[in-house]
């Protein structure tokens, strides 16, 4: 399980900072923004190499589709939100409220599930926005996470 104190097995540079990648032998378990002080670690197994290759493809072309085995630890509700996130078309955004209506829940509950998403970018919680602004990202409403969210949205839209 990816925790704040666990160390990623792979760390790469991205257009918006360093990304930590956690994998098991058979699935990606976590992908998130890490401190730029975190040492770079090349992928050490075939799955991690595949994750890096697909991420590099995505950074070159925002319309790249991910095809990776996922190991998402979460509640049944969180998993239902994450499945819906992966159905949002590239380059489009959806409001928290609209997802909440589909799931018969509240926008706040959707936001909480997005914040708990262990595999950012691949499970595109960045495509979920507030009615009048970007909303939050990684539990933050400013700073590096919001810059990352804006970059991802713009990149997918070809801006």
3 state SS for 59-121: HHCCCCCCCCCECCCCCHHHHHHHHHHCCCCCCCCEEHHHHHHHHCCCHHHHHHHHHCCCECC
Q: Check residue 24 and report its DSSP letter.
A: -
- The yes-or-no answer on residue 114 being catalytic is no
- Which of these is catalytic: 38, 95, 114, 125? 125
State the distance between the two ends of the chain, measured CA to CA, in whole angstroms. Answer: 35
Q: Which residues are catalytic?
A: 125
């Amino acid at each position: 399980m990816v925790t704040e104190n666990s160390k990623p097995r792979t760390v790469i540079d991205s257009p918006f900072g360093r990304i930590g990648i956690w994998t098991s032998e058979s699935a990606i378990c976590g992908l998130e923004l890490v401190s730029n002080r975190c040492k770079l670690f090349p992928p050490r197994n075939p799955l991690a190499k595949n994750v890096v290759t697909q991420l590099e493809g995505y950074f070159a072309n925002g319309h790249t589709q991910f095809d990776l085995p996922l190991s998402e630890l979460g509640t049944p509700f969180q998993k239902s939100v994450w499945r819906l996130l992966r159905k949002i078309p590239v380059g489009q955004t959806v409001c928290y409220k609209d997802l909440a209506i589909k799931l018969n829940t509240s926008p706040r509950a959707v936001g909480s599930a997005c914040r708990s998403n262990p595999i950012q970018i691949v499970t595109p919680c960045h495509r979920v926005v507030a009615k009048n602004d970007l909303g939050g990202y990684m539990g933050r409403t400013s700073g590096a996470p919001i810059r990352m969210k804006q970059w991802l949205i713009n990149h997918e839209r070809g801006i």
